[in-house]
A and B are shown apart, each in its own frame.
Chain A
């Protein structure tokens, strides 16, 4: 299997979320970036397991500026064979998907894996957009992926439970919990990652379909109202009369 894994960065969850430039841009000052957990724990690790069992090659791709080399080296340390960075600031999901699809077409992959969503903008859009651009089927929100020859068996989230589906490569898969377990890079992996190829390519032309006009932070919660643990009737009354949720 020739596999492409889409890797994006995400602010560490303890990062302070603030905005700058008149609330039009995310304030990156002091923000620690990690590999988006869905991309790392589920997409990348499963791609590596499949390579280990049936052979092939795992390439990672990131659309981002040169600071992103750090998270790409981490993904290489976990075991990816090579990395490609498309040198541009990701403007929106359509931009990211167009870049990745354009690159993928020039190489030809059997599988393109993404995470189920980025934890910063939570769009769940990129995978479907890549699939449409490549004309591949998409298995969205997959929690299991097995390969036999060119046939893939997957489990995916469906409206009425979990569906077991079968489909032929080439495909795009967005990966969710269950797909694989986290792998901690070892010293050998970290050393090897330093010398693995990391190619940087220019972005393709792309229309601007959407723009984030402004950002804001939710209003702070009002003070918590403490209820006497012996008086649960009061809590129920408040939930009914004041909060109006029951």
Chain B
């Protein structure tokens, strides 16, 4: 094959031009972002109690978002953001939430904007929001369009407890109540520290082995990098799947071999069977009769929302796990 044939040359040059164009754009964008970051770093207030608008926040996508006045109409595009807003006492300003936002109870009557992704731009615009609190991940591809339409959007994507606290503070700052955010985070941190100090007095050898799983045939379990895994180790347990990364489909043999002391079954949207039925199904899985958790009937059923969502309620989840593991 001769590289210098006409057709080859045409295609290769198209590739090179397109790739260079892409690289140039990315480079320029990165440069401009770095500059904005520098400017914001200089003027960052963050800790002061009075908030002056317009204020600029750097969100999780590294974008400098300027909020021009204290937002009065908020839209949350993720259940976690909705919960944080209500925890901060901003519930009354929320004018739109997703179909999946089910907590707290008071949020039930707020207008729905539809699915988490793709976002329904028309619905969002019609609600005339001052600030949209979006979620990374699924919504990353929708965010540029949202901003193009002139909507102020802050993107959050907390993947662990620390980031969750950061998100709470960021939302509080953007909404003009930074002191309230710090207060909430301080309270939560105190609770976490209490559990941590209790756990530190327990020798590692008596940390129980934990397996998280449901009742369906295919078993998915949270590994390293998930909120659940973080909470288990904080509460003084050893996740048998800690060696895996993120949510993984595992073989039942893996669980039989790991011999967990405690089995935790999260229930919620994905799993709505009765407790006794769940325990029965899990106990009767082939090859699992030797697992200590099943022999001693240490199967616990918990509300999944306490462990899957990056919200203040995670701390409740943490306390619950500690209770299950060590009390």
B is bound to A: no
Q: Which residues of A contact B (CB under 8 A)?
A: none
